[in-house]
Amino acid sequence: MVVGKTLMDHLNNKDVFIMKKLSFALVTCSILVFTGCNTNGAKEAGQPKRPECIAPAKPGGGLDMTCKLIQAGLKETEVLNDPIRVTYMPGGVGAVAYNKIVSNDSANNEAVIAFSTGSLLNLAQGKFGNFTEKDVRWLSGVAVDYGLVAVHKDSPYQTLGDLIKDLQKDPKGISFGGAGSVGGQDWMQSAMLAKKAGINPSAMSFVALEGGGEVLTALLGQHVKVAVGNISEVSSNLEAGRIRVLAVFANERLQGKFSNLPTAKEQGYDIEWPVIRGFYMGPKVSDDAYQWWKTSFDKMMENKKFETVRNNQDLLPFALTGDQITAYVYKQTDQMRQLSAEYKLSK
């Protein structure tokens, strides 16, 4: 062995080539230190660069809550590491956002737009202009809420039957407070209840308020006698004992902390009003983008961590994506179109 020879002197050409490759790999790994020495940090086909959730309402309402649900859900389940921003586009319970997406932003692969059953009701009534439910790509339904009627804790009404009895005597004497205008979701729930009790809905006193928060404020201040809303909107006031729920518009009693709330059905009034929370995309988004979002929602909803996020918002399980949510929306909108015609609300 010759003293003074370096390691490189003992290597043949093949060994030198391998060493050079290893050195290059180490340098590359150093450069890519933030993503690791693998392809895990690479964007998948269709993955958005700046993911966005559009809430077609002012901050603080149900559609805002729907965006915040997936904002937290995608993060907690680690399905999406990039932060998803929430932007607001209020107007017409979704009409402004729907028109913009269909007409001016139809190929936006970055954005998902929140919708609820209230959005579908307005869509069915022709309040979204000339557009129908077939003008967007329905993506997912991620949770469900349920409608209800509630009264102040000091109200004399202990049951739905108590309320109906007085309503039948004097429909105008009992003020119902609800979000939106006549024909909207809260009005429709009130009207369905009235009709089941043999009362003409037009004879009722309905106070139209800006949103669920205003409805609760009016009830707590006893400016209205009855509030119409959703479970998720009243949960904190219910737990604090400030209000009493007379009936939930579900097919059967809800689970968990709401299991003690009576349904309208068990009290003799067969009314069901599920409030779906979900998302759609523009009609011309790429198939890769649509599939990426669909797969991401599927992964998120399969993860147990999402159950905790959903429960924290007092929402209940509901999980449909792709063709299944599309079929559901088409069926629901058609039923609401018939219901609206029955109440002479369609344009």
For residues 34 and 64, give the distance between their C-alpha atoms in angstroms, rounded to a whole number. Answer: 33
CA distances in angstroms from 102 to 113, 130, 137, 286, 328, listed in the order given: 11, 11, 10, 14, 20
Distance CA 328, CA 326 (A): 5
Nearest-10 crossing angle of helices 212-220, 231-239: 30
Domain extents in the chain? 52-143+275-343, 146-267
The domains spanning 52-143+275-343 and 146-267 adopt the same CATH topology: yes
Interior CA angle at 184 toward 179 and 188, to 5°?
100
Backbone angles phi, psi at 276, to 5 degrees: -75, 140
C-alpha–C-alpha distance, residues 240 and 217, integer Å: 14
pLDDT at 198: 93
* Token pair listed for 190: 């009130």
CA–CA distance from 217 to each of 39, 86, 151, 184 (Å)?
52, 26, 12, 19
Alpha helix segments (H runs only) across the chain: 13-31, 62-76, 95-103, 117-124, 160-169, 185-196, 212-220, 231-239, 287-302, 304-312, 322-342
SS3 90: coil
pLDDT, one tens digit per residue, over 254-306 is: 988 899 999 999 999 999 999 999 999 999 999 999 999 999 999 999 999 99
For domain 146-267, the CATH superfamily is Periplasmic binding protein-like II (3.40.190.10)
Per-residue model confidence as pLDDT tens for the chain (347 residues): 443 444 344 445 544 444 444 444 444 434 333 333 333 456 788 899 999 999 998 887 788 899 999 999 999 999 998 899 999 998 877 889 999 999 999 999 999 999 999 899 999 999 898 999 999 999 999 999 999 999 999 999 999 999 999 999 999 999 999 988 888 899 999 999 999 999 999 899 999 887 788 899 999 999 999 999 999 888 889 999 999 999 999 999 998 889 999 999 999 999 999 999 999 999 999 999 999 999 999 999 999 999 999 999 999 999 999 999 999 999 999 999 999 998 887 65
Determine the topology of domain 52-143+275-343 in CATH: D-Maltodextrin-Binding Protein; domain 2 (3.40.190)
**CA-to-CA distance for 54 and 102, rounded, in angstroms?**
14
